[in-house]
Structure 1
Protein backbone atom coordinates (compact mmCIF):
# COMPACT_ATOMS: atom_id res chain seq x y z
CA UNK A 1 0.00 0.00 0.00
CA UNK A 2 1.57 3.29 -1.04
CA UNK A 3 0.66 6.85 -1.82
CA UNK A 4 2.54 9.74 -3.35
CA UNK A 5 4.80 11.46 -0.81
CA UNK A 6 3.92 14.97 0.35
CA UNK A 7 6.37 17.66 -0.83
CA UNK A 8 7.95 18.17 2.61
CA UNK A 9 8.68 14.44 2.89
CA UNK A 10 10.63 14.29 -0.37
CA UNK A 11 14.43 13.84 -0.28
CA UNK A 12 16.57 16.96 0.00
CA UNK A 13 19.67 17.60 -2.11
CA UNK A 14 21.77 20.76 -1.91
CA UNK A 15 24.80 21.19 -4.17
CA UNK A 16 28.15 21.96 -2.58
CA UNK A 17 29.54 25.47 -2.93
CA UNK A 18 33.28 25.03 -2.37
CA UNK A 19 33.85 28.77 -2.63
CA UNK A 20 32.22 28.96 0.82
CA UNK A 21 34.18 26.07 2.32
CA UNK A 22 37.79 26.95 1.62
CA UNK A 23 37.82 25.58 -1.91
CA UNK A 24 37.07 22.02 -0.81
CA UNK A 25 33.88 20.09 -1.50
CA UNK A 26 32.44 18.89 1.80
CA UNK A 27 29.44 16.58 1.83
CA UNK A 28 26.92 15.99 4.62
CA UNK A 29 24.53 13.03 4.77
CA UNK A 30 21.57 13.35 7.16
CA UNK A 31 19.14 10.53 7.95
CA UNK A 32 15.67 10.86 9.46
CA UNK A 33 14.23 8.42 11.97
CA UNK A 34 11.75 5.56 12.10
CA UNK A 35 8.21 6.52 10.89
CA UNK A 36 9.54 10.03 10.14
CA UNK A 37 10.62 11.60 6.87
CA UNK A 38 13.09 14.12 5.42
CA UNK A 39 10.76 16.81 6.79
CA UNK A 40 12.35 16.35 10.22
CA UNK A 41 15.83 16.99 8.80
CA UNK A 42 15.05 19.58 6.14
CA UNK A 43 15.73 22.75 8.22
CA UNK A 44 19.03 21.30 9.45
CA UNK A 45 20.03 20.29 5.93
CA UNK A 46 19.05 23.66 4.47
CA UNK A 47 21.08 25.46 7.15
CA UNK A 48 24.19 23.47 6.34
CA UNK A 49 23.57 23.83 2.63
CA UNK A 50 23.49 27.61 2.99
CA UNK A 51 27.00 27.40 4.46
CA UNK A 52 28.28 25.73 1.30
CA UNK A 53 28.10 22.06 2.23
CA UNK A 54 26.75 19.51 -0.22
CA UNK A 55 23.79 18.02 1.65
CA UNK A 56 21.71 14.92 1.00
CA UNK A 57 18.72 13.83 3.08
CA UNK A 58 17.39 10.58 1.58
CA UNK A 59 13.86 9.32 2.16
CA UNK A 60 14.17 5.86 3.68
CA UNK A 61 12.11 3.10 2.03
CA UNK A 62 8.57 2.90 3.38
CA UNK A 63 8.68 6.41 4.81
CA UNK A 64 6.71 9.40 3.59
CA UNK A 65 4.00 7.07 2.23
CA UNK A 66 1.95 4.94 4.66
CA UNK A 67 2.72 2.96 7.80
CA UNK A 68 1.46 -0.15 6.02
CA UNK A 69 4.09 0.42 3.33
CA UNK A 70 6.76 0.81 6.00
CA UNK A 71 5.72 -2.54 7.48
CA UNK A 72 6.93 -4.25 4.28
CA UNK A 73 10.49 -2.90 4.69
CA UNK A 74 13.36 -3.93 6.93
CA UNK A 75 16.60 -2.54 8.38
CA UNK A 76 18.63 -3.75 5.39
CA UNK A 77 16.46 -1.58 3.11
CA UNK A 78 16.99 1.56 5.19
CA UNK A 79 20.70 0.96 5.60
CA UNK A 80 21.03 0.26 1.89
CA UNK A 81 19.49 3.64 1.08
CA UNK A 82 21.84 5.47 3.45
CA UNK A 83 24.90 3.57 2.20
CA UNK A 84 24.04 4.33 -1.43
CA UNK A 85 23.63 8.03 -0.64
CA UNK A 86 26.94 8.03 1.22
CA UNK A 87 28.80 6.38 -1.66
CA UNK A 88 27.44 8.97 -4.09
CA UNK A 89 28.49 11.84 -1.81
CA UNK A 90 31.91 10.32 -1.21
CA UNK A 91 32.51 10.04 -4.96
CA UNK A 92 31.87 13.76 -5.50
CA UNK A 93 33.25 15.37 -2.33
CA UNK A 94 36.62 15.60 -0.63
CA UNK A 95 35.20 14.54 2.73
CA UNK A 96 31.79 13.50 4.08
CA UNK A 97 30.25 13.93 7.53
CA UNK A 98 27.17 11.89 8.48
CA UNK A 99 24.34 12.67 10.88
CA UNK A 100 21.06 11.16 11.99
CA UNK A 101 18.05 11.46 14.26
CA UNK A 102 16.83 8.48 16.32
CA UNK A 103 16.98 5.44 13.99
CA UNK A 104 18.88 7.70 11.61
CA UNK A 105 21.51 7.96 14.33
CA UNK A 106 21.79 4.18 14.44
CA UNK A 107 22.07 4.07 10.65
CA UNK A 108 24.96 6.53 10.51
CA UNK A 109 26.72 4.80 13.41
CA UNK A 110 26.42 1.56 11.41
CA UNK A 111 27.87 3.40 8.43
CA UNK A 112 30.77 4.77 10.47
CA UNK A 113 31.53 1.29 11.80
CA UNK A 114 31.51 -0.16 8.28
CA UNK A 115 33.29 2.59 6.34
CA UNK A 116 36.02 3.55 8.81
CA UNK A 117 38.14 6.52 7.76
CA UNK A 118 35.87 7.28 4.82
CA UNK A 119 33.64 9.02 7.39
CA UNK A 120 35.10 12.34 8.53
CA UNK A 121 32.70 12.78 11.46
CA UNK A 122 29.45 11.50 12.98
CA UNK A 123 26.58 13.58 14.41
CA UNK A 124 23.68 11.92 16.21
CA UNK A 125 20.53 13.37 17.78
CA UNK A 126 18.75 11.19 20.36
CA UNK A 127 19.97 7.98 18.69
CA UNK A 128 18.20 4.69 19.42
CA UNK A 129 20.27 1.59 20.10
CA UNK A 130 18.62 0.10 23.19
CA UNK A 131 15.51 0.50 25.34
CA UNK A 132 14.23 -0.18 28.84
CA UNK A 133 10.73 -0.97 27.53
CA UNK A 134 9.65 -4.46 28.48
CA UNK A 135 7.06 -4.79 25.70
CA UNK A 136 9.90 -4.92 23.17
CA UNK A 137 10.54 -8.50 24.28
CA UNK A 138 7.02 -9.39 23.13
CA UNK A 139 7.48 -8.06 19.58
CA UNK A 140 8.38 -11.43 18.02
CA UNK A 141 4.88 -12.62 18.98
CA UNK A 142 2.93 -9.35 18.83
CA UNK A 143 4.02 -8.56 15.27
CA UNK A 144 2.07 -11.61 14.10
CA UNK A 145 -1.03 -10.68 16.11
CA UNK A 146 -1.40 -6.94 15.52
CA UNK A 147 0.05 -4.84 12.69
CA UNK A 148 0.80 -1.66 14.61
CA UNK A 149 1.00 0.24 17.89
CA UNK A 150 0.13 3.90 18.59
CA UNK A 151 2.37 6.50 16.96
CA UNK A 152 5.79 7.55 18.23
CA UNK A 153 5.92 10.59 15.93
CA UNK A 154 5.72 14.28 16.86
CA UNK A 155 7.42 14.15 20.27
CA UNK A 156 8.14 17.88 20.06
CA UNK A 157 7.99 20.42 22.89
CA UNK A 158 7.60 23.45 20.61
CA UNK A 159 3.90 24.12 19.92
CA UNK A 160 2.49 23.83 16.42
CA UNK A 161 5.28 21.77 14.87
CA UNK A 162 4.60 18.62 12.82
CA UNK A 163 7.35 16.22 11.71
CA UNK A 164 5.07 14.60 9.08
CA UNK A 165 5.37 11.16 10.68
CA UNK A 166 2.95 8.25 10.79
CA UNK A 167 -0.15 7.85 12.93
CA UNK A 168 0.80 4.25 13.76
CA UNK A 169 4.02 2.32 14.52
CA UNK A 170 4.30 -0.80 12.32
CA UNK A 171 5.48 -3.76 14.41
CA UNK A 172 7.22 -5.94 11.83
CA UNK A 173 9.31 -2.98 10.71
CA UNK A 174 10.28 -1.81 14.20
CA UNK A 175 11.13 -5.37 15.21
CA UNK A 176 13.59 -5.44 12.31
CA UNK A 177 15.18 -2.23 13.55
CA UNK A 178 15.49 -3.52 17.10
CA UNK A 179 16.96 -6.74 15.75
CA UNK A 180 19.83 -4.75 14.26
CA UNK A 181 20.97 -3.41 17.63
CA UNK A 182 23.13 -6.28 18.96
CA UNK A 183 25.39 -6.38 15.90
CA UNK A 184 25.84 -2.61 15.91
CA UNK A 185 26.57 -2.51 19.64
CA UNK A 186 29.24 -5.18 19.08
CA UNK A 187 30.76 -3.07 16.29
CA UNK A 188 30.78 0.29 18.11
CA UNK A 189 34.51 -0.07 18.93
CA UNK A 190 35.17 0.13 15.19
CA UNK A 191 33.98 3.76 15.21
CA UNK A 192 37.01 6.02 15.47
CA UNK A 193 35.64 9.11 13.71
CA UNK A 194 34.92 12.26 15.77
CA UNK A 195 31.46 12.06 17.35
CA UNK A 196 29.04 14.88 18.15
CA UNK A 197 26.28 13.56 20.42
CA UNK A 198 23.11 15.60 21.01
CA UNK A 199 20.73 14.50 23.76
CA UNK A 200 17.37 15.72 25.02
CA UNK A 201 17.03 14.95 28.75
CA UNK A 202 13.25 14.70 28.31
CA UNK A 203 12.65 12.30 25.45
CA UNK A 204 9.42 10.30 25.33
CA UNK A 205 10.55 8.00 22.51
CA UNK A 206 14.17 7.02 23.21
CA UNK A 207 15.01 6.45 26.87
CA UNK A 208 18.41 6.85 28.52
CA UNK A 209 19.69 3.32 27.95
CA UNK A 210 21.31 4.06 24.56
CA UNK A 211 23.57 6.90 25.67
CA UNK A 212 26.12 5.05 27.84
CA UNK A 213 26.22 2.16 25.38
CA UNK A 214 27.21 4.49 22.56
CA UNK A 215 29.50 6.87 24.42
CA UNK A 216 31.34 4.06 26.20
CA UNK A 217 31.31 1.80 23.15
CA UNK A 218 32.95 3.88 20.44
CA UNK A 219 36.73 4.04 20.15
CA UNK A 220 36.75 7.68 19.10
CA UNK A 221 38.95 9.94 21.21
CA UNK A 222 37.05 13.00 19.94
CA UNK A 223 33.58 12.89 21.51
CA UNK A 224 31.45 15.94 22.29
CA UNK A 225 28.12 15.73 24.11
CA UNK A 226 25.64 18.59 23.80
CA UNK A 227 22.48 18.67 25.93
CA UNK A 228 19.20 19.94 24.47
CA UNK A 229 17.24 21.04 27.57
CA UNK A 230 14.28 22.63 25.78
CA UNK A 231 13.51 19.86 23.31
CA UNK A 232 11.88 16.45 23.24
CA UNK A 233 12.77 13.61 20.84
CA UNK A 234 12.50 15.38 17.47
CA UNK A 235 14.98 18.03 18.54
CA UNK A 236 15.85 18.95 14.96
CA UNK A 237 12.46 20.71 14.78
CA UNK A 238 12.24 21.76 18.41
CA UNK A 239 13.35 24.71 20.55
CA UNK A 240 17.02 23.66 20.53
CA UNK A 241 17.27 23.30 16.75
CA UNK A 242 19.49 26.44 16.51
CA UNK A 243 21.92 24.75 18.92
CA UNK A 244 22.04 21.66 16.70
CA UNK A 245 22.57 23.79 13.60
CA UNK A 246 25.33 25.92 15.11
CA UNK A 247 27.20 23.15 16.91
CA UNK A 248 27.08 20.86 13.89
CA UNK A 249 28.34 23.56 11.54
CA UNK A 250 31.31 24.21 13.82
CA UNK A 251 31.93 20.47 14.14
CA UNK A 252 31.89 19.89 10.38
CA UNK A 253 34.27 22.79 9.79
CA UNK A 254 36.66 21.42 12.41
CA UNK A 255 36.73 17.76 11.40
CA UNK A 256 37.07 18.46 7.69
CA UNK A 257 39.97 20.88 7.99
CA UNK A 258 42.88 19.34 6.12
Structure 2
Protein backbone atom coordinates (compact mmCIF):
# COMPACT_ATOMS: atom_id res chain seq x y z
CA UNK A 1 0.00 0.00 0.00
CA UNK A 2 1.39 3.40 -0.98
CA UNK A 3 2.12 5.82 1.83
CA UNK A 4 -0.43 8.61 2.08
CA UNK A 5 2.38 11.07 2.74
CA UNK A 6 5.73 10.21 1.14
CA UNK A 7 8.93 11.15 2.95
CA UNK A 8 10.20 14.52 1.78
CA UNK A 9 13.47 14.63 -0.10
CA UNK A 10 16.22 15.25 2.46
CA UNK A 11 14.13 13.99 5.38
CA UNK A 12 15.07 10.32 5.04
CA UNK A 13 16.60 8.44 7.97
CA UNK A 14 20.35 7.86 7.68
CA UNK A 15 22.76 5.19 8.82
CA UNK A 16 26.54 5.12 8.41
CA UNK A 17 28.39 1.91 9.16
CA UNK A 18 31.63 2.45 11.08
CA UNK A 19 33.46 1.13 14.13
CA UNK A 20 31.97 -0.28 17.32
CA UNK A 21 31.33 3.13 18.84
CA UNK A 22 27.82 4.21 17.90
CA UNK A 23 26.22 7.64 17.87
CA UNK A 24 22.45 7.97 17.91
CA UNK A 25 21.37 11.28 16.38
CA UNK A 26 17.87 12.74 16.82
CA UNK A 27 16.21 15.66 15.06
CA UNK A 28 13.59 17.91 16.63
CA UNK A 29 9.87 18.68 16.82
CA UNK A 30 8.29 19.40 13.38
CA UNK A 31 11.79 19.14 11.88
CA UNK A 32 13.56 16.39 9.96
CA UNK A 33 16.81 14.45 9.75
CA UNK A 34 18.12 17.24 7.47
CA UNK A 35 18.92 19.30 10.60
CA UNK A 36 21.25 16.59 11.96
CA UNK A 37 22.69 15.07 8.80
CA UNK A 38 25.80 17.34 8.64
CA UNK A 39 26.72 16.23 12.17
CA UNK A 40 26.03 12.58 11.35
CA UNK A 41 28.25 12.77 8.26
CA UNK A 42 31.05 14.45 10.22
CA UNK A 43 31.01 11.76 12.92
CA UNK A 44 30.87 8.98 10.32
CA UNK A 45 33.93 10.50 8.63
CA UNK A 46 35.81 9.97 11.90
CA UNK A 47 34.93 6.26 11.80
CA UNK A 48 31.95 6.18 14.16
CA UNK A 49 28.78 4.23 13.37
CA UNK A 50 25.95 6.75 13.14
CA UNK A 51 22.18 6.24 13.16
CA UNK A 52 19.78 9.10 12.45
CA UNK A 53 16.18 7.85 12.66
CA UNK A 54 13.24 9.81 11.25
CA UNK A 55 10.81 10.43 14.09
CA UNK A 56 7.36 9.05 13.27
CA UNK A 57 5.09 11.64 11.69
CA UNK A 58 8.02 13.86 10.76
CA UNK A 59 9.51 14.64 7.36
CA UNK A 60 6.22 13.96 5.57
CA UNK A 61 3.21 16.22 6.23
CA UNK A 62 1.96 18.03 9.33
CA UNK A 63 -1.35 16.16 9.06
CA UNK A 64 0.50 12.91 9.61
CA UNK A 65 2.36 14.38 12.57
CA UNK A 66 -1.00 15.26 14.10
CA UNK A 67 -1.81 11.53 14.35
CA UNK A 68 1.36 10.59 16.27
CA UNK A 69 2.13 10.61 19.98
CA UNK A 70 5.21 11.27 22.08
CA UNK A 71 5.43 7.50 22.58
CA UNK A 72 5.75 7.11 18.80
CA UNK A 73 8.70 9.53 18.86
CA UNK A 74 10.32 7.62 21.73
CA UNK A 75 9.81 4.37 19.80
CA UNK A 76 11.52 5.85 16.72
CA UNK A 77 14.60 6.74 18.75
CA UNK A 78 14.61 3.42 20.63
CA UNK A 79 14.50 1.53 17.32
CA UNK A 80 17.62 3.43 16.25
CA UNK A 81 19.24 2.62 19.59
CA UNK A 82 18.51 -1.09 19.21
CA UNK A 83 19.97 -1.04 15.71
CA UNK A 84 23.20 0.46 17.05
CA UNK A 85 23.29 -1.99 19.98
CA UNK A 86 23.38 -4.90 17.56
CA UNK A 87 26.83 -3.91 16.36
CA UNK A 88 28.26 -1.33 18.80
CA UNK A 89 29.75 -1.88 22.25
CA UNK A 90 29.53 1.78 23.24
CA UNK A 91 26.79 4.27 22.39
CA UNK A 92 26.52 8.06 22.66
CA UNK A 93 23.32 10.02 22.02
CA UNK A 94 22.85 13.54 20.66
CA UNK A 95 19.85 15.54 19.54
CA UNK A 96 18.49 18.97 18.73
CA UNK A 97 15.50 20.57 20.46
CA UNK A 98 12.98 17.75 21.10
CA UNK A 99 15.78 15.49 19.88
CA UNK A 100 17.66 16.80 22.91
CA UNK A 101 14.65 15.98 25.08
CA UNK A 102 14.69 12.46 23.67
CA UNK A 103 18.46 12.29 24.28
CA UNK A 104 17.81 13.04 27.95
CA UNK A 105 15.00 10.46 28.02
CA UNK A 106 17.35 7.81 26.66
CA UNK A 107 19.97 8.59 29.31
CA UNK A 108 17.29 8.34 32.00
CA UNK A 109 16.11 4.97 30.75
CA UNK A 110 19.39 3.39 29.59
CA UNK A 111 22.16 4.05 32.13
CA UNK A 112 24.63 2.13 29.94
CA UNK A 113 24.70 5.06 27.48
CA UNK A 114 28.27 6.37 27.51
CA UNK A 115 27.53 10.07 27.11
CA UNK A 116 25.01 12.60 25.81
CA UNK A 117 25.15 15.80 23.77
CA UNK A 118 21.83 17.70 24.03
CA UNK A 119 21.62 20.77 21.73
CA UNK A 120 19.07 23.45 22.70
CA UNK A 121 17.14 20.69 24.44
CA UNK A 122 13.60 21.38 25.65
CA UNK A 123 12.23 20.53 29.07
CA UNK A 124 9.78 23.40 29.56
CA UNK A 125 8.28 25.80 27.01
CA UNK A 126 5.43 27.78 28.63
CA UNK A 127 4.24 29.18 25.28
CA UNK A 128 3.82 25.68 23.87
CA UNK A 129 2.03 24.43 26.96
CA UNK A 130 -0.41 27.35 26.69
CA UNK A 131 -0.94 26.83 22.94
CA UNK A 132 -1.64 23.13 23.51
CA UNK A 133 -4.85 24.13 25.29
CA UNK A 134 -6.25 26.16 22.42
CA UNK A 135 -9.70 25.03 21.38
CA UNK A 136 -11.13 25.10 17.86
CA UNK A 137 -7.63 25.54 16.42
CA UNK A 138 -6.05 22.61 14.62
CA UNK A 139 -2.77 24.07 13.33
CA UNK A 140 -0.56 27.00 14.28
CA UNK A 141 2.19 28.72 12.32
CA UNK A 142 5.53 27.00 11.87
CA UNK A 143 8.23 27.04 14.52
CA UNK A 144 10.92 25.68 12.19
CA UNK A 145 13.92 27.38 10.61
CA UNK A 146 14.91 29.62 13.53
CA UNK A 147 18.34 30.18 12.01
CA UNK A 148 20.60 33.24 12.20
CA UNK A 149 22.38 32.52 8.91
CA UNK A 150 20.05 33.98 6.21
CA UNK A 151 21.34 31.58 3.57
CA UNK A 152 20.20 28.43 5.37
CA UNK A 153 16.68 27.00 5.62
CA UNK A 154 15.54 24.09 7.74
CA UNK A 155 13.42 21.36 6.18
CA UNK A 156 10.52 21.59 8.62
CA UNK A 157 6.73 21.80 8.64
CA UNK A 158 4.92 24.97 7.65
CA UNK A 159 2.27 24.27 10.27
CA UNK A 160 2.40 22.96 13.84
CA UNK A 161 -0.44 20.66 14.97
CA UNK A 162 -1.95 21.83 18.25
CA UNK A 163 -2.43 18.19 19.27
CA UNK A 164 1.32 17.65 18.88
CA UNK A 165 2.03 20.57 21.21
CA UNK A 166 0.14 18.64 23.87
CA UNK A 167 2.27 15.57 23.17
CA UNK A 168 5.62 17.35 23.43
CA UNK A 169 4.46 19.10 26.60
CA UNK A 170 3.80 15.74 28.28
CA UNK A 171 7.17 14.42 27.06
CA UNK A 172 9.04 17.46 28.40
CA UNK A 173 7.47 17.31 31.86
CA UNK A 174 8.15 13.57 32.06
CA UNK A 175 11.81 14.00 31.11
CA UNK A 176 12.27 17.02 33.38
CA UNK A 177 10.98 15.05 36.38
CA UNK A 178 13.62 12.34 35.90
CA UNK A 179 16.72 14.45 35.14
CA UNK A 180 18.23 13.38 38.48
CA UNK A 181 18.61 9.85 37.07
CA UNK A 182 21.24 11.01 34.56
CA UNK A 183 24.86 10.54 35.58
CA UNK A 184 26.71 9.85 32.32
CA UNK A 185 29.07 12.51 30.90
CA UNK A 186 27.12 15.36 29.29
CA UNK A 187 28.09 18.08 26.83
CA UNK A 188 25.23 20.58 26.70
CA UNK A 189 25.00 23.16 23.91
CA UNK A 190 22.83 26.26 24.25
CA UNK A 191 22.29 29.17 21.89
CA UNK A 192 22.53 32.56 23.56
CA UNK A 193 19.53 33.67 21.50
CA UNK A 194 16.81 31.11 20.78
CA UNK A 195 13.27 31.97 19.65
CA UNK A 196 11.84 28.48 20.18
CA UNK A 197 13.27 27.02 23.41
CA UNK A 198 14.16 29.41 26.25
CA UNK A 199 17.95 29.15 26.81
CA UNK A 200 17.28 28.74 30.56
CA UNK A 201 16.22 25.14 29.75
CA UNK A 202 19.85 24.15 29.20
CA UNK A 203 21.00 25.71 32.48
CA UNK A 204 18.21 23.84 34.28
CA UNK A 205 19.32 20.60 32.64
CA UNK A 206 22.94 21.25 33.65
CA UNK A 207 21.88 21.96 37.24
CA UNK A 208 19.55 18.96 37.53
CA UNK A 209 21.56 16.07 36.08
CA UNK A 210 23.88 14.19 38.42
CA UNK A 211 26.73 13.72 35.93
CA UNK A 212 30.21 14.13 37.38
CA UNK A 213 31.53 15.24 33.99
CA UNK A 214 29.24 17.89 32.54
CA UNK A 215 29.80 21.04 30.56
CA UNK A 216 27.57 23.82 29.27
CA UNK A 217 28.74 25.44 26.03
CA UNK A 218 27.12 28.72 24.97
CA UNK A 219 26.82 29.33 21.23
CA UNK A 220 27.09 33.04 20.49
CA UNK A 221 26.28 33.01 16.79
CA UNK A 222 23.30 30.71 16.24
CA UNK A 223 19.57 30.66 16.92
CA UNK A 224 17.57 27.52 17.73
CA UNK A 225 18.58 25.25 14.83
CA UNK A 226 22.25 25.59 15.72
CA UNK A 227 23.18 22.37 13.90
CA UNK A 228 22.52 24.14 10.58
CA UNK A 229 23.65 27.58 11.74
CA UNK A 230 26.91 29.47 12.20
CA UNK A 231 28.06 27.31 15.13
CA UNK A 232 27.76 23.99 13.31
CA UNK A 233 31.53 23.50 13.18
CA UNK A 234 31.85 24.35 16.89
CA UNK A 235 29.29 21.64 17.74
CA UNK A 236 31.11 19.08 15.60
CA UNK A 237 34.58 19.85 16.95
CA UNK A 238 33.57 20.05 20.61
CA UNK A 239 31.54 16.84 20.28
CA UNK A 240 34.46 14.95 18.73
CA UNK A 241 36.69 16.11 21.62
CA UNK A 242 34.01 15.06 24.11
CA UNK A 243 33.69 11.60 22.53
CA UNK A 244 37.46 11.11 22.62
CA UNK A 245 37.72 12.29 26.21
CA UNK A 246 34.81 10.12 27.38
CA UNK A 247 36.33 7.06 25.73
CA UNK A 248 39.79 7.71 27.17
CA UNK A 249 38.60 8.29 30.72
CA UNK A 250 36.31 5.28 30.78
CA UNK A 251 37.24 1.64 31.11
CA UNK A 252 36.55 1.28 27.40
CA UNK A 253 39.06 -1.05 25.78
CA UNK A 254 38.76 -0.42 22.06
CA distance in 2, matches of 1:145, 1:213: 34
Q: Is the 1:34–1:103 contact (alpha carbons within 8 Å) kept by the matching residues of 2?
A: yes
Match of 2:153 in 1: 162
Q: Which residue of 1 is the match for residue 226 of structure 2? A: 235
- Name the CA distance, whole Å, in 2 between partners of 1:233 and 1:196: 17
Q: Aligned residue for 2:86? A: 91
Normalising by structure 1, report the TM-score.
Answer: 0.92
1:24-73 per-residue CA deviation (whole Å, 9 max, x = no partner) reads x1000000000000000000000000000000100000101001110100
- Matched with 2:35 is 40
**TM superposition shift of 1:83:** 1.0
Relative to structure 1, the CA distance from residue 97 to residue 149 in structure 2 (aligned partners, 3 Å threshold; closer, same or farther) is: same
Structure 2 equivalent of residue 110 of structure 1? 105
Q: C-alpha deviations, 1:169-207, integer Å up to 9, x for none?
A: 111012111012222112111101100000101101111
Would you say 1:207 and 2:183 are equivalent positions? no
Shift of 1:2: 3.9
Match of 1:137 among 98, 107, 130: 130
What TM-score do you get using the length of structure 2 for normalisation?
0.94
SS of the equivalent of 1:73 reads coil
Partners in 1 of 2:81 and 2:195 — Cα distance? 30
Matched residue, 1:4: 6
Of 38-47 and 173-182, deviating more is: 173-182
Q: Partners of 2:4 and 2:69 in 1: how far apart?
A: 16
- Regions of 4+ moved over 4 Å: none
Q: CA deviation at 1:212?
A: 3.0
Asked if structure 2 preserves the Cα contact closer than 8 Å seen for 1:129 and 1:181, the reply is yes
Cα distance in 1 for partners of 2:199, 2:129 equals 15
Instruction: Say whether 1:127 aligns with 2:121.
Output: yes
User: Between Structure 1 and Structure 2, how many residues are aligned?
Assistant: 247
2-structure distance, mates of 1:167, 1:7: 15
Q: In the alignment, which residue of structure 2 is the partner of 1:76? A: 71
SS in 2 for 1:180: helix
Q: Which moved more, 1:100-109 or 1:84-93?
A: 84-93
Residue 219 in 1 paired to residue 218 in 2? Answer: no
Structure 1: 5+ residue stretches without partners: 19-24
Q: Does 1:148 align with 2:143?
A: no
